[in-house]
């Protein structure tokens, strides 16, 4: 028995050295360890051995089996490691500096600035309204205290249409009357102040060049309640503009004439580039004219159904207009206004979302 | 408008004031100042000099060699002026002095040394006359600084005319001076005028025909005018304020207009016997004093000498009655015409003048009389021998009502949000020319006539007067005390934002903005015509026609960008106009336009990308699915075979199409274009399905795959019925595993999932369902792919 085991041990050792992969290792394992394998054969031989030697022979077989098992496991481990090493070596180290094709869409810059402002206004309790591009003469002028032949109509070269009394809106103020009518009831019945902004496309008949467009965007805002004052207006404009420019801005008001406000103002902000010292951006004045605003004219509130003839000052309010196109130009450093409407994708595709 | 600070100082004492600071306050309180110019600062050491001798330059055919007495010595000077001659006194710039940009140095001119320079008016900056050197009155002493004789130094500031639109009183210096008086707390001086010393009965006969268009017409006749030229100081002021000096009478009318804002006209006295103000009975021609013949319509107010037209009222005088150098008598017009009428006539004639610009602003009719008396005062200062030969004839047709406004301090406090004392309110209003009756904190104010033509009519206007002088910089600012109520984003805005996000982020598309009217040239390049639609009034035949489809804007954009990248997608949520509504108004429709362009993908693949995009959009917004219904084309660019309506819940919300080859080939021969239009308000109107949660079954389901061959001309949606019509409870889901699509051979592999919530299905049960589906498929001749 002992000799048999020794012979087998020698055979196993020599076979094992020939093993180069897991398949031949498995064959070897079958040869020795399976039910029909060499070790099982030894166990069968045990039956023919005299009883007094059985114990010793059994132990020898067991020792051998254990030894084969261990060496087998060691070999397997060795082969596994080798395989892993081969696999690792075979794996490519990637060149992550290769260019990638990452399709990336873009928003129109007006959408970006409009969303930013709408977020600010919504956070301040303003409703965001939508309004038509084609409006009637009443909403664009009459309701705003601009009667026919008023010189103020001179300021805006209006595109009138060949439909009854209709025109392409020349300013977002054209929405004021509609907004007042929409929210007036809630103001009067429940004391819910009217706070609304309405962005939109406006049209004026102008020759187009780098600074002038016939199609542009504004955002109008109104706030109406029982005791809205000039002081509130200044406070609000300062707060709102500080949000827009993400810093504390200094504002100043100058008298400005717009028929739909009284008093009316031109609001300037201290130049953000030079801080008020004077630079080319502010034409050396230290100030940038930013948005017209004012206390809503009593006639406009009356047209909007907010106040009655008897008490034209029951409710008061302010209105302001922001030039979205101009703000976008300032914010993104767009020097030529034509970029906005001429659909050149090499320009517009740069306005990816933040 | 250009404003002279010297002129302002005629009417208000500004001694000791920081003028620049004052002009800054004027911007903040009254109107926007666009620029300040310091006149005469660049004129130094220019004195009265007398030419003692004048000889020709030995080496030049036009230069002279002069000796000039500069008061402190005799200087040799080389001068090229044609009027240089012995004896005259002129403006002489000495060495070391300065004339504009020029530093005066001793220099050789063609070999002769020149120590100084004789100056023209243009060189001194006081007129544009450069015909020769100035000729001064011989009474001036040699060596006197020129600035001591003429007011060359002045501060001129320009006010933005737009900011004066509502302030007729600020179109002259006197009104401006009132603002400076209010800003500084100084008193506004009275205007010096001359009363008429004529005692006879003669009038200037005035007949106003069209009384609707005339407020007032004031006139006087003056004879024996011998002086022809204005004083230098008046010429300088006119020049600094942007007007050229012409002759004494024309200068005086211009001066009055700049001083009071009242346009005036001087007719040659010999040409006028009887003033008639009326509109013509029929259209006519009329030659204005600029020599232009103009078409006058029957609604243009005219001034006539009896039946001969002599001026377009409020706009421009006629050539025939113009003041000339021979004029020695005049009939003066100081009138007030209807502002709207003047404005309409001026724009009809395309002739806007300084006069018409002022009349448009609705001037104060009270001013016409003052202006006449002021004119007489200024004329007689220069020409004391002139004779007034008529009464001041005054036809006051219409008066503006006197406006009084009652208010109290509490109203001002409420409207301003700050506390301004009643004393301050009172003082401010007085300084601006208002009359106040004050009873404690209550006021009754009378609006002065020069503010009452339209500008100030109610309490809010009074608040503006008080606050602008108080200064907005002095306001304490505070927040509103309004209840806090949430503002929710509207569904409309949410949908727009969701669509933009989906298209930009999931489909990498570019948002564009396009114009709302069709461009005939760009469309012509694509073989397309402008589609008839609502259009802008007054535009040429195929110009200014609004778009009825976003694609009228998109096709040109694609054409322009066809080499931008091999593939791109564009979109815009804009407006289209789909004809007119029942009431004839434009049918404006909020429209989403999308276009896909690709050189890399075949058209079919691109088309399905479009379909997938719509399906994703409808699913995300509405939790619904869209159907596609082939339709007739509505536009020339739509492909007759591949134009489909997009239908949700049986309602049409848009169109998807490929492009007709006749248009496509104009853009490109090797790319595909797919276009989608969705009517946003129709989409908004579709109620979204609620999200419904179904607990996943705990029991295993059974999947069964079938490959169906779809023959030509059969639409997938027709086959779909085969498994939907029997409403099998166990059939949980049908998903697409694979699509094989090579021209004529088309097959779809579908995975049918069977599942029950409460128990495990047996394969026998599933087989029953499958057999039903197969039977249905056989009925519509759909074969299985094996």
Q: How confident is the model at residue A152 (pLDDT cuts 50, 70, 90)?
A: low
Unique residue bearing structure tokens 């630079």: A279
Contacts of B488 in chain A (CB under 8 A): 127
Look up residue B201 and give its two tokens. Answer: 């009965």
The answer to whether residue A156 scores a pLDDT higher than 70 is no
Residue B49 · residue B141 · CB < 8 Å: no
Residue A151's pLDDT is: 63
The number of beta carbons lying within 10 Å of the beta carbon of residue A50 is 7
Which pLDDT score is estimated for A155?
A: 53
The pLDDT of residue A103: 78
Looking at residue B717, its pLDDT comes to 86
A56 plus A172 within the same structural domain: no
Contact A255 B31 (CB under 8 A): yes
Residue length of chain A? 354
Strand order in the sheet with B638-648: B510-511, B567-580, B586-598, B672-679, B651-659, B638-648, B627-630
How many distinct structural domains can be found in chain A?
Answer: 2
Measured CA distances, B196 to B164, B381, B391, B458, B512 (Å): 33, 14, 7, 38, 71
Give the distance from residue A47's alpha carbon to the nearest chain B alpha carbon, in angstroms: 53
| Test the A interface: residue of B414, B510, B521 with most A CBs within 10 Å | B510
Closest-CA residue of chain A to B589: A132
Question: Which residues of A are less than 8 Å from B28 in CB distance?
Answer: 252-255
Local structure of residue B687 (DSSP, 8 states): P
B56 within a domain of the structure (yes/no): yes
Q: Is A102 inside a domain boundary?
A: no
Question: Which structural domain range is residue B167 located in?
Answer: 2-39+155-184
Q: What parts of chain B have a pLDDT lower than 70?
A: 743
**Containing structural domain, residue A31:** 2-90
DSSP B591-651: EEEEEEEESSS-HHHHHHHHHHHHHHHHHHHHS---EEEE---SSTTEEEEEEEEEEETTE
Shared domain check, A300 and A193? yes
- Chain A residues with CB under 8 Å of B586 CB are 134, 161, 163, 166
Residue B486 located in a structural domain: no
A198–chain B Cβ distance below 8 A for any pair: no
- Decide if B304 is inside a domain: yes
Q: Are residues A251 and A319 in the same domain?
A: yes
Residue B615 lies in a domain: yes
What's B689's DSSP letter?
P
DSSP B502: I
Give the pLDDT score at B511: 98
- Predicted pLDDT of residue B457: 93
Question: Residue A217 falls within a domain, yes or no?
Answer: yes
- CA A94 to chain B, closest CA, distance in angstroms equals 27
Q: What pLDDT was estimated at residue A6?
A: 86
CA distances from B337 to A156, B331, B355, B398 (A): 25, 18, 11, 10
- B658 within a domain of the structure (yes/no): yes
Q: What is the CATH number of the domain that holds B142?
A: 2.40.50.140
Contact call for residues A350 and A104 (beta carbons, < 8 A): no
Contacts of B343 in chain A (CB under 8 A): 149, 151, 154
Cβ neighbour number for residue A278 with a 10 Å cutoff? 14
pTM summary value = 0.85
Q: What is the average pLDDT across A54-64? A: 86
Q: Are residues A61 and A114 in the same domain?
A: no
Taking an 8 Å cut-off on Cβ atoms, the answer to whether A223 and B534 are in contact is no
Average pLDDT value over all residues in chain A:
90
B137 and B178 in a single domain? The answer is no
Tally A–B CB contacts below 8 A: 239
Judge contact between B637 and B663, C-beta under 8 A: yes
| Contact across the interface for A255 and B163, Cβ inside 8 Å | yes
Using an 8 Å CB-CB cutoff, list chain B residues near A103: 508
Does residue B693 belong to any structural domain of this protein? no
Q: Does A225 touch chain B if contact means CB atoms closer than 8 Å?
A: yes
Please give the angle made by the CA atoms of A256, A257 and A259, to the nearest 5 degrees: 145
Do residue B531 and residue B659 come from a single domain?
Answer: yes
Q: Which of A59, A90, A121 is the last residue of a domain?
A: A90
- Examine the domain organization and report whether B370 and B256 are in the same domain: yes
Q: How many domains does chain B have?
A: 6
Is the pLDDT score of A275 beyond 90? no
Specify if B484 maps to a domain. no
Q: Are residues B541 and B611 in the same domain?
A: yes
B230 and B300 belong to one structural domain: yes
Nearest to A345 among B417, B458, B564 (CB): B564
């Amino acid at each position: 028995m002992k000799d048999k085991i020794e012979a087998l041990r020698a055979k196993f050792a020599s076979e094992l050295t020939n093993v180069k992969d897991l398949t031949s290792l498995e064959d070897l394992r079958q040869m020795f360890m399976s039910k029909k394998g060499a070790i099982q054969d030894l166990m069968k031989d045990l039956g023919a051995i005299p009883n007094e030697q059985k114990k010793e022979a059994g132990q020898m077989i067991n020792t051998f089996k254990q030894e084969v098992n261990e060496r087998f496991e060691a070999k397997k481990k060795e082969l596994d490691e080798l395989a892993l090493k081969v696999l690792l070596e075979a794996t490519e180290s990637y060149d992550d500096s290769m260019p990638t094709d990452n399709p990336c869409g873009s928003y129109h810059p007006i959408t970006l600035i409009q969303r930013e402002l709408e977020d600010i206004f919504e956070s301040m309790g303003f409703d965001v309204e939508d309004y038509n591009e084609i409006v009637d003469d009443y909403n664009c002028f009459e309701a705003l205290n601009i009667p026919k032949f008023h010189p103020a109509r001179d300021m805006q070269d209006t595109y009138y249409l060949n439909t009854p009394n209709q025109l392409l809106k020349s300013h977002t103020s054209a929405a004021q009357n509609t907004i007042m009518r929409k929210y007036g009831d809630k103001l009067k019945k429940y004391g819910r102040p009217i706070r609304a902004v309405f962005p939109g496309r406006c049209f004026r008949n102008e020759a187009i060049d780098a600074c002038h467009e016939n199609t542009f965007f504004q955002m109008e805002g109104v706030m109406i309640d029982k005791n809205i004052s000039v002081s509130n207006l200044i406070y609000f404009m300062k707060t709102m503009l500080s949000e827009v420019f993400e810093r504390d801005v200094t504002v100043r008001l100058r008298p400005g004439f717009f028929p739909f406000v009284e008093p009316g103002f031109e609001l300037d902000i201290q130049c953000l580039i030079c801080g008020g010292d004077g630079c080319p951006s502010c034409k050396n004045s230290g100030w940038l004219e930013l948005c017209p605003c004012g206390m809503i004219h009593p006639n406009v509130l009356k047209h909007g159904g907010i106040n009655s003839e008897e008490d034209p000052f029951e409710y008061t309010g302010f209105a302001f207009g922001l030039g979205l196109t101009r703000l976008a130009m300032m914010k993104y450093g767009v020097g030529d206004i034509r970029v906005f409407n001429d659909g050149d994708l090499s320009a517009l595709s740069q306005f990816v979302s933040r | 408008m250009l404003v002279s600070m010297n002129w302002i100082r005629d009417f208000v004492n500004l001694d000791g004031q920081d003028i620049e600071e004052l002009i800054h306050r004027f911007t903040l309180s009254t109107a926007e100042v666009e620029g300040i110019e310091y006149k005469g600062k660049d004129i130094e050491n220019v004195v009265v000099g007398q030419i003692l001798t004048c000889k020709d330059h030995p080496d030049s055919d036009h230069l002279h060699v002069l000796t000039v007495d500069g008061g402190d010595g005799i200087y040799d000077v080389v001068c090229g002026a044609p009027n240089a001659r012995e004896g005259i006194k002129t403006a002489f710039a000495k060495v070391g002095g300065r004339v504009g940009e020029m530093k005066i140095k001793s220099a050789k001119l063609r070999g002769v040394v020149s120590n100084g320079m004789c100056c023209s008016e243009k060189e001194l900056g006081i007129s544009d006359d450069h015909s020769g050197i100035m000729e001064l009155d011989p009474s001036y002493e040699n060596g006197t600084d020129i600035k001591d004789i003429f007011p060359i130094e002045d501060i001129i500031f320009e006010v933005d005319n737009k900011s004066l639109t509502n302030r007729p009183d600020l179109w002259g210096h006197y009104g401006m001076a009132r603002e400076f008086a209010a800003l500084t707390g100084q008193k506004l001086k009275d205007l010096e005028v001359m009363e008429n010393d004529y005692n006879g009965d003669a009038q200037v006969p005035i007949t106003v025909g069209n009384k609707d268009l005339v407020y007032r017409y004031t006139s006087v006749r003056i004879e024996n005018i011998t002086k022809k030229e204005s004083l230098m100081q008046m010429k300088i002021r006119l020049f600094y304020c942007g007007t050229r000096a012409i002759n004494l009478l024309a200068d005086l009318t211009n001066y009055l207009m700049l001083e009071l804002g009242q346009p005036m006209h001087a007719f040659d006295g010999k040409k006028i016997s009887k003033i008639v103000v009326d509109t013509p009975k029929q259209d006519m021609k009329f030659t204005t004093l600029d020599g232009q013949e103009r078409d006058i319509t029957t609604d243009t107010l005219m001034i006539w000498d009896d039946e001969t037209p002599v001026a377009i009222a409020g706009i421009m005088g006629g050539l025939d009655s113009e003041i000339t150098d021979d004029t020695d008598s005049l009939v003066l017009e100081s009138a007030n015409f209807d502002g709207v009428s003047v404005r309409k006539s001026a724009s009809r004639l395309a002739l806007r003048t300084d006069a018409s610009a002022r009349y448009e602003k609705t001037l104060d009719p009270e001013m016409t009389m003052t202006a006449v008396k002021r004119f007489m005062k200024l004329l007689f200062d220069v020409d004391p021998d002139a004779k007034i030969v008529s009464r001041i004839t005054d036809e006051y047709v219409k008066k503006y009502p006197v406006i009084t406004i009652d208010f109290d301090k509490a109203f001002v406090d409420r409207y301003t949000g700050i506390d301004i004392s009643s004393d301050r309110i009172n003082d401010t209003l007085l300084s601006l020319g208002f009359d106040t009756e004050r009873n404690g904190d209550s006021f009754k104010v009378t609006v002065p006539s020069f503010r009452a033509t339209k500008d100030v009519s109610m309490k809010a206007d009074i608040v503006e007067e008080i606050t602008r002088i108080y200064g907005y910089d002095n306001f304490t600012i505070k927040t509103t005390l309004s209840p806090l109520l949430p503002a929710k984003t509207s569904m409309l805005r949410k949908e727009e934002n969701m669509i933009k996000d989906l298209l930009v982020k999931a489909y990498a598309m570019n948002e564009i903005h396009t114009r709302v009217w069709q461009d005939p040239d760009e469309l012509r390049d694509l073989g397309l015509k402008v589609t008839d639609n609502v259009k802008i009034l007054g535009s040429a035949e195929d110009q200014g026609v609004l778009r009825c489809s976003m694609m009228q804007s998109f096709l040109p954009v694609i054409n322009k960008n066809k080499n931008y990248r091999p593939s791109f997608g564009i979109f815009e949520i804009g407006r289209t106009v789909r004809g007119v509504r029942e009431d004839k108004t434009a049918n404006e429709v909020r429209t989403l336009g999308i276009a896909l362009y690709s050189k890399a993908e075949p058209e079919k693949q691109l088309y399905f990308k479009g379909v997938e995009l719509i399906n994703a959009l409808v699913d995300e917004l509405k939790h619904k699915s869209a159907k596609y219904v082939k339709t007739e084309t509505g536009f020339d660019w739509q492909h007759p075979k591949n134009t489909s309506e997009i239908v949700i819940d049986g309602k049409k919300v848009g169109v998807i199409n490929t492009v007709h080859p006749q248009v496509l080939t104009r853009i490109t021969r090797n790319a595909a274009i797919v276009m989608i239009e969705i009517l946003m308000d129709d989409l908004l109107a579709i109620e979204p399905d609620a999200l419904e949660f179904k607990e996943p079954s705990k029991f295993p389901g059974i999947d069964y795959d079938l490959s169906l061959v779809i023959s030509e001309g059969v639409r997938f949606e027709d086959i779909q019925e085969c498994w939907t019509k029997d409403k099998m409870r166990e059939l949980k889901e049908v998903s697409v595993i694979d699509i094989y699509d090579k021209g004529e051979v088309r097959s779809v592999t579908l995975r049918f999932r069977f599942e029950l919530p409460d128990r495990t299905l047996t394969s026998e049960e599933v087989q029953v369902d499958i057999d039903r589906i197969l039977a249905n498929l056989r009925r519509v001749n759909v074969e299985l792919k094996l």
